[in-house]
Structures are given as structure tokens and as C-alpha cells.
Structure 1
């Protein structure tokens, strides 16, 4: 039963990231009104309904990866920790750079903003940067990284008995 719920949660989490990405507002420049935007961030609405599935998906990924990684040798755990750390860092830097570039572009074209610091990195124009395949993969990588650390701790602690 846990596997079925996990698979459903995985699929719903994929749907969550797809919907958030798909609901990204385009940065339209209209000479009469300036930058055309919206009221709020519709890309965050799916989180209201699908967050429980996402939470269960992260929990299930942590559980399965911890069980798997506990059985591996220490050298393999270190390789997994190193690999997931490097890939996570690359994705994080890429996402931050994309969001910063978009923020600069918004400030250039919008009369509503005079400084980049007035505009948050997560806004309704940047959903596609924060909710895509790579950030979904980042969630999985960070979960595996955390579970590998837990597996390392479990294997280094002597068992009583």
C-alpha cells in the first residue's frame, strides 16, 4: 500500500511542478500600461491542493533511499554524497543566476520597480525558473543527500546488543 501511495504522490508531485511552471505569467510590455502583470501568483495555487502529495513523496523518497543507502559500503555512500552535493550546487547556482537575470530584466522594463531589491526572486514571472524538471530533480537530490548522511551516521554508530 505504501508503494502505491508513493507512486501516486510522485505523479502528483510531477503534476504540481508542471502546473506551477505552466502558470508562469509572461513578461508582457505594453506601451500604454507598462509591464502587464497580475494580482498575486496563480502558479502557487496548486501547492494548496497538492502539497500533501509532495510531502509524502519527499518522505517516501527519504525512507526508500535511507533503506537502500544503509546497505551500501561507506565508499559508495561518500560517492553518493559528493555527487548529489555537486549536482545540487550546480542546479542551485543556475536557478539563482536565471532568477537574478530575470529580476534585472523586470526592473529594466517595469516602471513599478526602481531597484532589484524591491522585487523578490520568486514572483509570478519566475515560476518557470523555480518549478521545472531541474528543481524537481534538485528536491530528489537533496532528499538523497540528507538520507545518505543519515545512513552514514547509522553505519558509524555501534549497535548495542
Structure 2
């Protein structure tokens, strides 16, 4: 559901990194990288715990991801990076056309952070309220064909396939 936003985010982020390094705004580019990468382990951990069927650890990891997103992308990013780029650098270096493009891209990233935080909070509230596995509604899932009574984790599905093959092998052997 957020394909356009995701592509836009990656294009803008890559452009910001290249632009920051080519214009010697290395500090801003490095901070953009740091802010975007610091919460990723929590999100990946939540995905791993979900696939393993460890829902309480999944919820904990996703809650830490949400708090990290709030602290990095909605607090540190605008209060440190945007403020520095919008006001402090103008006082130091003056205004120039490339500066406007650079700040426009930084502001666009902040808008995307806000939109995604809305979706993240919706998922978090739903998972904590319901207390069961909550699927990511933003994207299509390989498990969308599964019924509700089937396990949803790839590990469980793999184990189920092995058991089926084993049963089929036993059935063939018993018929001979």
C-alpha cells in the first residue's frame, strides 16, 4: 500500500547522501544514515520473533521499534538535523540554491516519517489490544492464501510440509 512512499523515501535518501557528500555536508548525510538505521534491528527482531511464533517478544521488539522511531525520526531528526540545516547553516554559510533543494528533501523525509509513524502506531495499538499476531497491512504477504487455522510462520509451514512428506512416505511404504 505504501509502494510510492517507499520508492520516494529511497530516492530522496540516496539523493541526500550523494548530495551531502558531494557538497561537503558530510555531517548531515551521516546523521541521516544514523537516524534511519538505528531502529532497524528492533523491526527485524520483531519480524523474526513473529516468524518463530514468539508473540510476546515480537510485541516487545515492535514496541521498542516504535519508541526508537519516535525518539530518532520524530524527535532527533527534526530537532537536530532539520534545525541545523534550516537555520544554523544559513547563519554560518548563507543561503544558496542547492541549500533549498537539500532542505526540501530533508523536509520531505520528515513528512514521510510522520505518515509512517501513523501506520506504526495503528499496528502497535492493534497488536497490544488484540494480543495476537497482527499482519502488516501495508504489503502483500506470501501467507495471504493461508486460512486462519493454519500456522502463519514460515518455520511452522516448513515443519508442516516435512510432516506431510513424512506421512506420504509412510503411506507409500505401508501400501507396498
User: Smaller-chain TM-score range?
Assistant: 0.3 to 0.5
Q: Of Structure 1 and Structure 2, which has the larger fraction of its residues in helix?
A: 2
TM-score, reference length from structure 1: 0.39
Q: Which has the larger radius of gyration?
A: 2
Point out which structure has higher relative CO (alpha carbons under 8 A, 6+ apart): 1
Could you tell me the TM-score, scaled by structure 2's length?
Answer: 0.36
